[in-house]
Structure 1
Amino acid sequence: MPLSLPNHLLPMLLSALFALSVIFIRLKAAGRPTSARKIIIPPLGMSTGFAMFFFPFMRIPLAWGLAAFLAGAVFFAYPLIRTSKFEAIDGQIFLKRSKAFIFILLILLAVRLVLHDYVEHYVSLSQTGSLFFLLAFGMLLPWRTAMLLQYQRLNRTLGSGKEADPLP
């Protein structure tokens, strides 16, 4: 007998797995120097997800999309920005490990899962996916932008005169 999961359970499990992988990657990355490129690549990679809107069943009203993006930018990005700090060690820039970051990520995951389950009752599953993609991108873009600005500021104060990883 094949295992059958309710429609909403699989996305919830995948979201939890993704969040745990982000925590693991973040903890591992704290031991290596960072660069502007490493900060910029995640939003660039995620931006390919906008291709989903080529498919009519994924489309949502513009107001919904803007609201989801702004909710991510205003409510979800702020705690991540506050807990992402850099430090210079031996002329290299490292992302400082923050215990609060892990808890914030877990709290954001829980809020996201509850919201996802709620929203799913009112719009289709594909539209729910679209909304939460925009929410996540709205969270990621300001967070990474703030990280890049902080990285560049610290890089300038190192006094090296040239950036090891220039932006294209």
Structure 2
Amino acid sequence: MFALPWYLTWFGHSLNAYSAVVRLYDYFLCAPPLFPVYVTAAIVAQRAPELLAAECDMAVLHCLLSRLPDDLPFEDILVTADQLYKEHDPSTLEEEVILFEKKEEEQRKLDEERMRRRQIAARNARNPTLYVRLERRLKRWLNMRLPLSYRTVLATATVLVGVYAYYRPDFLFNR
């Protein structure tokens, strides 16, 4: 956020020294399109001791970074930016960015699926289907009406009738 005006105006509105602005413009016109990003990184690296000594507060750091001092050694910064560009060429970083975007997309899909399931569960909890409501009523009725021994007898009888009907199908259907 602090470096956005630097990048958008090629430091033209952030520097007071006309010679520094002109030097940067000349360099940027000859450099690759993303080079101002590397200059921004080099400036932050140049000011690292000052940044690390500052209070650890977002507002303080933003204020410190948004104002560029007049005595920055731009020739050293350009050399550092050139080294950064050679070490971290955008074409080599592109594969890493694509992998990162794929992982981010997969994570987003997982999060969306999780959210969709939660919404369905919440909706079902608020407005259960007829089957769920009947099941709840039956369970409540059985728990209230029948003691444990009756429930056991009922379950056993149901299983026995089912087994008998399985082995003797003519018993139920041929009357």
**Which range, TM-score by smaller chain?**
under 0.3
**TM-score when normalising by structure 1:** 0.25
Q: TM-score, normalised by structure 2?
A: 0.24
Greater relative contact order structure (CA < 8 Å, 6+ sep): 1
**Greater helix content:** 2
Larger-gyration structure (1/2): 2
Structure with greater strand share of residues: 1
